[in-house]
Amino acid sequence: MAHHDTPNRSLDPAALEPALLEALRVGKALDAAYLADYTGYPLAQVRAALEALCERGEVRLRQIGLLDRRGRNRRVYELAHPSPAPSATGELTELAQRIHRYLLERPDTAWHLALALRLSIREVGLALASLEAHRLLSRRRVGKTVLYLGQPAPQRL
C-alpha cells in the first residue's frame, strides 16, 4: 500500500475539495496521486472528490498519451475554467514582492519557483494570483508548460 493510501486518517472530507481546487489553481494539470501526496488525503478519497468536481464542471479530466505503470493512459486534472482573479486592492505581501522580484529576473514555472525559493506550491499559487490581480505577471505557454513572467509596475503620474 502506498504511503498516500494510509487508512483511518482523521482528515476533514469537507476541506478536501477546496484544497484540490487550490492546488489546481497553479495552472498545471496534475494527477490524482500527486494531489493525494500534496493534500495528505487517501488516494481513493482524492479520486472521489475529483470525480465530484468533474461532475459539477469545476474540474476537467484529461487523458494524455503517456501511459502509467499499468499501461493505461495517464489521467490528469485541471481547472475547467480559471477562477476570477483576486482583487487588486491593498498592498502586495512581502512574499508576493519577493516572487515578483524573482520573476522580473527570469521566467519560471510555479513548480520550479517553489523549489528555488523553498516555498509550498500553495504559497506560490496564492502569490501568483495576487501578482496577476495587480497586473504584475504574465503567462506564456511553452508546449504543456506554463511560464510566469514578472511585469514591471506601471508608472504612476
Domain boundary among 79, 103, 136: 79
The domain that contains 45 carries what CATH number? 1.10.10.10
In this structure, the answer to whether residues 47 and 23 fall within a common structural domain is yes
- The pLDDT, as a whole number, for residue 147 is 85
pTM above 0.85? no
* Residue 157 included in any domain: no
In this structure, the answer to whether residues 15 and 68 fall within a common structural domain is yes
* Residue 156 included in any domain: no
Range of the domain at 50: 3-79
Return the axis-axis angle of helices 121-133 and 16-24, rounded to nearest 10°. 60
In this structure, the answer to whether residues 62 and 99 fall within a common structural domain is no
* Residue 42 included in any domain: yes
Listed residue (61, 62, 66, 65) closest to 50, CA to CA: 61
3-state secondary structure of 92: coil
- The pLDDT, as a whole number, for residue 94 is 92
* Residue 88 included in any domain: no
In this structure, the answer to whether residues 72 and 19 fall within a common structural domain is yes
Distance, CA of 147 to chain centre: 13
**Grid cell of 85 as nine digits:** 482573479
Number of domains in the chain: 2
In this structure, the answer to whether residues 105 and 67 fall within a common structural domain is no
* Residue 43 included in any domain: yes
- The pLDDT, as a whole number, for residue 143 is 72
3-state secondary structure of 76: strand
In this structure, the answer to whether residues 55 and 103 fall within a common structural domain is no
Each of the 157 residues of the chain gets a pLDDT tens digit; together they read 344 444 434 466 667 888 888 888 877 788 888 888 888 889 899 989 998 888 888 888 876 656 666 666 677 888 876 554 454 557 888 999 999 999 999 999 888 888 899 988 778 888 888 888 888 988 887 776 778 899 988 765 5
- The pLDDT, as a whole number, for residue 5 is 41
3-state secondary structure of 61: strand
Burial profile 9-37: b = 16 or more Cβ within 10 angstroms, e = fewer: eeeeeeebbebbebbbbbbbbbebbbbbe
